Structure 1
Amino acid sequence: MEIAENAALIVVDVQEGFEAEAWGSRNNPEADQNIAGLIDAWQSSGRPVVFVRHDSPKPNSPLRVGQPGNDFKKYVEERRGKGSGPELLLTKSVNSAFYGTPDLAEWLDRSGIRQFVVVGIQTNMCVETTARMGGNLGYEVFVPLDATYTFDLTGPWGWTRTADELTRATAVSLHGGGFAKVVNSAELIAAAE
């Protein structure tokens, strides 16, 4: 695996609001540790890091601006501004980081970035949507599955899927569909070094 010197790490929605019990059962308890490790690797190598925050417009959302849940998790906030490479704070109110402010594609293109890694919360929502759009826009996208997590979910007709089932479905769709290469954090860290 080859990671470009200017490959961006996009850290999606790693916010306190996802600690709320209302989300239900989550998977991958090692995700936060893996996200922190990737941020450290990217920052120490001088590569760009994009911190994405979901500013929900929904009045009862724990991710709403002004609520404590809107804040980045402590380990992310402590790392912001610590790298030697470029850094961007992007806010959004929908799933894809490509529909945020400032314009992600414009920032990537202006910086000559054609490769990026997506980590964060939730695997099957904002991480997957950002990865899919990146693939559609012609970027080379990597998703370290062990640096993401999600929650059990109920859909139409009472169908339910566990967080692990949803994660596997995302991995198959992204990798099998050619949107992104699904890998693990250790592989990326080794390649970035």
Structure 2
Amino acid sequence: MIRNNNTSLTASVISRHILRSIEDDPGLKVKNILSFVKENLKVDVSYKQAWYARRKAIELMFGSWEANFVELPQYLNVLVQSNPGTVVEWSHHLNSSDRVKTFKYVFWVFGRAIEVFHMCRPVICVDDTHLRGEYKGKLLVAVTQDANNKILPIAYAIVDEETISSWLWFMEQLRYNVALDRHSICVISDRHNGIIYTMAHFDY
């Protein structure tokens, strides 16, 4: 089979052709980019070229990982200003040599979620999910059910790993910022060691 290769078709050029597709679907698969290039540009490119083109298109459309990470505090400040009652709590590593604070955990809960939770059943479900991309980590989430049996997200946290320390910190923030006046709450979980430890040593 004769392949129609075009060495001048760089990842940067391809990225500009797939911008609209990336905007519609940031999770666009590399194999779909290969098909798009073949059908529309009549050229065969390598998987590596298509992968880099996808990465460049995402950066052009949404910004780089570094830029988005740097803007996280500003983004959360806007959440607080735009949503009355919203709470954001940070935990940092402090580098003793240069006194620089390094992001460790961040917790947030919308003001409306705090208000609504007091009208929901005293039951929460907590779980985690992996964060994909250059900066690895975990997203911790707490949800409940409203009076119509609909799932209601309550609180979120970004942490480095799912550990006893991170779960204890998350559950402390949840207790003090959301459920302080609820005397007894049922917690449903996957029984991760961090959650079991927290439930055994914290008043829920």
Query: Do these two structures clear the TM 0.5 threshold for a shared fold by scoring above it?
Result: no
The normalised TM-score by structure 2 is 0.26
